[in-house]
Structure 1
């Protein structure tokens, strides 16, 4: 069992707590100043506390707080060189964290699917085998360069919201066609889930898979013709670019420090 401490039990932190608990490979201490946040994860960890000092006993410490309080939390942490600090604070450069701790530093951008152990994460910094195994426990990850973290933040960090948007659009289209909302949502969500798994498991590219699904004169190609003639891909690219730009703005504020 890896002794793990998660500091910050908001949406992302609590998702990590639940995912790590579900893996069965971690002894988790959850730390937050909000008693309601701690109560929400109490069933998924060994201990809840408002004392960041408890992180001193952990092998791996997750810093899952908002960017504007990262420095204040780091000032309270006293970690050693044999510990690993994993920062998931959006826009906070690895160097900023490294300058304020003796621990090995890994920066990751995860997403909320950590809760169901389907997380997509980007990682940079001192990524040890211990961290790799931990990330494997809650999903899939890619090791990237520090300079790629802003675009990774946009793709996999913000990406779930974009996917939720399209699932809702497909759901509403189903409802408009006469399906019950719950039925339509199950069909839409499971379709996204299955399609995503196919992309991960199949050797073909996404474009090749589109071609495989589109039978000549069939229903799918009729729908794809509409998408190909639309600006849906451009709109999605613009959404990713906007999220990337915001990540760059957050990072710039810390670099000025």
Structure 2
């Protein structure tokens, strides 16, 4: 059983820990100074503590703190060369972390769907081990990338869930406007996104081919697609991703200057 310590049990760290708990394959130690954060993951963790020294016993340590406190946490974290430190901190380079620990450092960008085993993650290929790959497999899907692409992946899959939530809410509102109860519309909209995403991942056809498969000539779908094709909806999504990428670059530059 792999021993995993998660430092920082807020939204992302908590989702990571809860997702791993679903597998039953890990001894999970939750580490956080906030009692409320620890209480939120107590049912899923093997143990909870506010003592960062507990990470010394882990095979893999997950650093899931906010970027602005990452350096301070690393100063207090004493790991050995035979441990692996997986950093989730947005904008914080692998080299920045590696300079402050003896552990082998892997950088990844996951998202909140780790909690349900549906995570989309990007993992920088340097120092990536089969042990960490197995950890990511337990949480969902991941791609291996050059670290230079981490800003765009931070925007696409890290920030992306919020953009999808926005679109789900828009479809839900359309359903409510048409007479559905809010819970009915939300279920239909969310499950439609879930099913469509699963189809994209499992079907050999391209997205354009899948759109064509749904659009019967003179049917309802083609009428709706004509509205989308004539709009700037795609450009708005691209702009949202670009804005998130730019912010990730700004965060990275702040750490590069140190």
What TM-score, normalized by structure 2, do the two folds share?
Answer: 0.99
How many angstroms apart in 2 are the aligned matches of 1:82 and 1:216? 61
Secondary structure (helix, strand or coil) at the match of 2:27 reads strand
1:235 maps to 2:225: no
Match of 2:158 in 1: 157
Partner residue, 1:170: 171
Runs in 1 of length 4+ with deviation above 2 angstroms?
none
Q: How many residues align?
A: 257
Partner of 1:135: 136
Partner Cα separation in structure 2 for residue 235 and residue 37 of structure 1: 35
CA deviation vs aligned residue, 1:192-213 (integer Å, no higher than 9, x gap): 0000000000001111100111
State the match for 2:15 in structure 1: 15
Superposed CA RMSD: 0.5
2:191 match = 190
What is the match of residue 30 of structure 2?
A: 30
Q: Map Cα deviations across residues 130-165 of structure 1 (whole Å, 9 max, x no partner).
A: 000000001000010011000000000000000000
Give unpaired runs (5+ residues) of structure 1: none
Structure 1 CA distance for aligned equivalents of residues 12 and 87 of structure 2: 12
**Aligned mates of 2:13, 2:52 — CA distance in 1:** 14
Aligned counterparts of 2:225 and 2:103: Cα–Cα separation in 1: 50
* Cα separation, 2, equivalents of 1:23 and 1:225: 44
Structure-2 residue corresponding to 1:120:
120
Q: How far apart are residue 23 of structure 1 and its match?
A: 1.1
- Partner of 2:28, secondary structure, is strand
1:252 aligns with 2:256: no
CA distance in 1, matches of 2:228, 2:26: 45
Distance 2:197 2:244 in 1: 22
The residue that corresponds to 1:48 in the other structure is 48
Query: How far does the alpha carbon of each residue in 1:19-46 deviate from its partner, in whole angstroms, 9 at most, with x for none?
Result: 0000111110000000011011001011
1:39 equivalent in alignment to 2:44:
no
Length-normalised TM-score, structure 1:
0.99
SS, match of residue 4 in structure 2: strand
| Matched position secondary structure for 1:43 | coil
